[in-house]
Structure 1
Amino acid sequence: MGNKLSIFTEDQLEAYQDCTFFTRKEILRIFRRFREISPQRVPVNMRDGKSRRVKIPFTELELISELRENPFRERICQVFSEDGSGDMSFDDFLDMFSVFSEIAPRDIKCVYAFKIYDFDGDNHLSRYDLQQTLRCLTRNGLTEEEISFVVDKVLEEADLDDDGLLSYIEFEHVISRSPDFLNTFHIRI
């Protein structure tokens, strides 16, 4: 118990449990993982607001095994970092792992998937967002003509109001028909 208290206060641990899908033991394991990334930057004691103030830069985060091969690693870090920079505090890091945990519900995963694919942050998936998503998914393996063809097909199928954009509701409808979504939208720690 003393080890838990030396890192976080009892109130912090309770708040983390209330706001995530993790147990105390899992929270402490995720903290150890966070600290391993940059031990010179992350103190052992995260009381007194340090869990929000101490940040690891994106350039270090993108190298961790859980993100390194993910084509969306930059967008993921931007979406989960409080200021959108991609640099993460422990609170941001814990939130990311909570959303990507296997026990997080589909609706929460869907909200964050939409944010990740919304590259321009306008709360719609436009042609630009869909093109960027395809470039990431295929690691720039498609020609511009192929990307345009796929985007046209996606909009034809999913853009129910024909406004040339996918709203969150339209995106959620597509995801609800995708049985693999929950299996692919997770990160194990």
Structure 2
Amino acid sequence: MGNKVAVFTDQQLENYQDCTYFTRQEILTVYKRFRELDPKIVPAVMTKDEPHTISIPMEKIIKMAELKENPFKERICKVFSHDGTGNLTFDDFIDMLSVFSENASRDNKLYYAFKIYDFNGDQLINGDDVEQVVQALTRNELNQDEISIVREKVLEEADIDDDKCISFSEFRHVISRAPEFLNTFHMRI
């Protein structure tokens, strides 16, 4: 038998299993994907504090096949980045892939979809946030008048309490009427 180097301690693996939707083997696969993004930065062993101190720049993360065509790729990185920069530690990276996994709960996916659309981070999706979502989804192909029309229609449809913002509960209500929305909210490891 050869000496196999442990990437994580047993306790770290247990913690990741408790906090994600992944098995031990899937956690190691996620780590392999993370390390492949920048093997010069990411060590072969992460048994100390490396999982939450070593980060990969967002510029490298957004080149992943699962993100490179996503109009929200930078926003996704910023939402999952513990410091908001978009640079991801392994802890951030595994959280992101866990939420986008097929096994993640609908509520967890919904929570993060809301955060991704809440560009200014005020726990509400206001008109400006809606405009940024529309610009991202249409890749800036609409003029300002067209964007304003979409903005008003979205707020008219989703803003139940007429406060010119979409709260999380209003967002949940809208998504409940479009269950296929969250079917596209996944990545494979």
TM-score (ref. length: structure 2): 0.97
Identity value in percent: 56
Name the aligned partner's letter for residue 38 of structure 2: S
Which runs of no fewer than 5 residues in structure 1 stay unpaired? Answer: none
Cα deviation per residue 1:101-153 (whole Å; 9 max; x = unaligned)? 01111111010001000000111000000000011111111111111111111
2:44 and 2:129 mapped to 1: Cα distance? 40
Is structure 2 residue 184 aligned with structure 1 residue 188?
Answer: no
Cα deviation digits, residues 60-80 of structure 1 (max 9, x gap): 111111111111000000000
Structure 2 gap ranges (5+): none
**Residue of structure 2 in register with 1:179 after alignment:** 179
TM-score normalised by length of structure 1: 0.97
Deviation at 1:179, TM superposition (A): 2.1
Structure-to-structure mapping, 1:23-38, within 5 angstroms? 23-38=23-38
Change in Cα spacing, 1:151 to 1:30, as seen in structure 2 (3 Å) is same
How big is the shift at 1:2?
6.4
Instruction: Give distance in 1, aligned partners of 2:182 and 2:103.
Output: 10
- Contact kept in structure 1, 2:35 and 2:42, CA below 8 Å: yes
**Distance across 2 between alignment mates of 1:103 and 1:178:** 19
Kindly state the Cα deviation for residue 182 of structure 1 after the two structures are TM-superposed.
2.4
Root mean square deviation, CA, Å: 1.2
